[in-house]
Structure formats: C-alpha cells, structure tokens
Structure 1
Amino acid sequence: MTAEATIAERTYTIGELAAISGLSVHALRWYEAQGLFPRDIPRTPGGQRIFGDEAVRWLALLNRLRDSAMPVADMARYSQLVRAGEGNEADRIALMESHARSLDAQIEELIASREVIRDKITFYRQAVASRT
C-alpha cells in the first residue's frame, strides 16, 4: 500500500444522516425529491439510500442556506448548477451574490429593529428611575 492510497469514504444510512444533519428522515427524502442534492443518491440492491461524507458536507451548506432564508427554489437551482459541473461558475456566483445582498438587507433591518428596541429599554429604565 502506498502513502497515496485513498481511504474509503464512510457511508451513512438515511437515519444516520438525519442524526448527523439535524434533519428528519422525512426532510431528507423531501430534499431529494426537490432536487436539493447535487448528485443522485446511490442505493443498495435492497433500495436503501447510501450517503457519503460529501452528503454530510452538502447538508451543512444547505442548512446554512436554509437558516439564512434562501428560498428552496434558489437552493434547488444552486444544486442543479453544481450537478451540471464546471463551466457555470458565473451563475453560481450570481446566485450567491444575490443571496448575500438579501442577507445584507435583512441584517440592516435587524439592526434598525434592535435600535428601536434599545430605545424602548432606555425609555422604560428612565421611567422606572424617575419614580424612585
């Protein structure tokens, strides 16, 4: 065996992947049905899905995209672009830049909301202090 020998990728059942990813088995099946995986999910001769480490990493990304309110349609589009392979990087960049701009706008709204809330806290603290 050489130093360059590859280590076999770990495989996971759908239940194991659910536990690792924090998603339910139902959600993983739904993700597959929506085309959110960039590759076809291989199956055992008995029809059980087999997931590898790549699926774990991919779901970590999808969880971040979902947590940041990326629409499922955009997540599916990104997955399609990845599935298509090299040559569409400009489209991937455009999709991610669009989402980043959306996040920037959300962050600005949250900061503005936080300032209003802080102003209310200051107002109520002053009201309480003036009564004592």
Structure 2
Amino acid sequence: MASIPLPTLDADIPDEGLSIGAVAEVTGLSIDTLRYYERAGLLLDPAPRDPGGRRRYRRNDLDWIAGLIMLRETGMSIADVRRMAELSRVAGTEAERLVVLGEHRMHVLDELARTRAHLAALESKIAAYTEAVSRKDTE
C-alpha cells in the first residue's frame, strides 16, 4: 500500500532525536500533554529512550504527533484518536481507519456548517450596529 501522507512539523532532527522539551517547543504542546498522549496510547509507538531514560523523538514520531494535533484541533475525541493509533499499528486495517476518518469528517462538516451560520449571524449584527453608528454620526 502507498504511504499515507501525514501533516509534518518543520524541525531539524539530530541523529539522536529531539528531547521532549524540543518537541514541546516545535509542536506548541506542553511536556505534560506529550507525556499524557504517550500514556493514553495516542502515539503510534512510545517515544524511544536514550541510555539515560529520556525520551528521544524521531521524524516518524513528529509526523504522527502533527497528525494527532490536526485530528484534535478538528475535534476528534481522545477515544477516536486512540482507535486510529490502535488501528495504525496493525497492517491491513485501512478500511477500519477509513470508517473512523469518514465519521470524523462528517462531524467536521457539521461543525463547519454551524460555524458558518454563527458567522453569518455575527456579520448581520455587525452590519446593523455599523448602520446604527453611522446614522448617529450623521445626526
């Protein structure tokens, strides 16, 4: 199967990998959030450790985290992100992953429609207030 593209994070990654602090800086996530994501099973694999036991993140880890951020920012639940991670660890589960992503896509489209309706209402109010202020200024 062809590789599935993931969002990427722009970061130079040394051979020994990035520390959790560096990954926090690159992603905008807190160190606590990165640790939580690992404990909660949301990462594709636990971050490898250096001889001192410190996490060291590689390119594939950052690419997965970028995808995780995108899914969370579009409102995917922790449970569904975990399900995606579980499925992604197993070859041949593309159809199941497609179902999860398709359901989430419908959620995003519903939220987008709701946001557009709210934006239209805001624009209507702004237009009404702009007109009221304009009339006041000409009186």
Q: TM-score range by the shorter chain?
A: 0.7 to 0.9
**In structure 1, which of residues 114, 128, 131 is the aligned counterpart of residue 133 of structure 2?**
128
Return the TM-score normalized by structure 2: 0.81
Distance 1:57 1:9 in 2: 16
Aligned residues: 124
Identity %, equivalent residues: 33
**In structure 2, which of residues 107, 120, 136 is the aligned counterpart of residue 115 of structure 1?**
120
Return the TM-score normalized by structure 1: 0.85
Residues 16 and 56 of structure 2 are in contact (CA less than 8 Å); yes or no, is this contact kept in structure 1?
no
- With over 3 angstroms needed to count, the CA separation of the structure-2 counterparts of 1:128 and 1:20, relative to structure 1, is closer
Between stretches 54-63 and 35-44, larger displacement belongs to 35-44
Gaps of 5+ in 1: 1-7
Q: What are the Cα deviations for residues 47-104 of structure 1, in whole angstroms up to 9, with x where unaligned?
A: 11121011111111111111111111111110111112x2110110011111111010
Distance 1:75 1:116 in 2: 33
Residue 9 of structure 1 and its aligned partner are, at CA, apart by 5.3
Give the root-mean-square deviation of aligned CA atoms.
1.6
Residues 24 and 30 of structure 2 are in contact (CA less than 8 Å); yes or no, is this contact kept in structure 1?
yes
Q: What are the Cα deviations for residues 24-63 of structure 1, in whole angstroms up to 9, with x where unaligned?
A: 1111110000001112322223211121011111111111
| Structure 2 counterpart of 1:4 | none
1:99 aligns with 2:104: yes
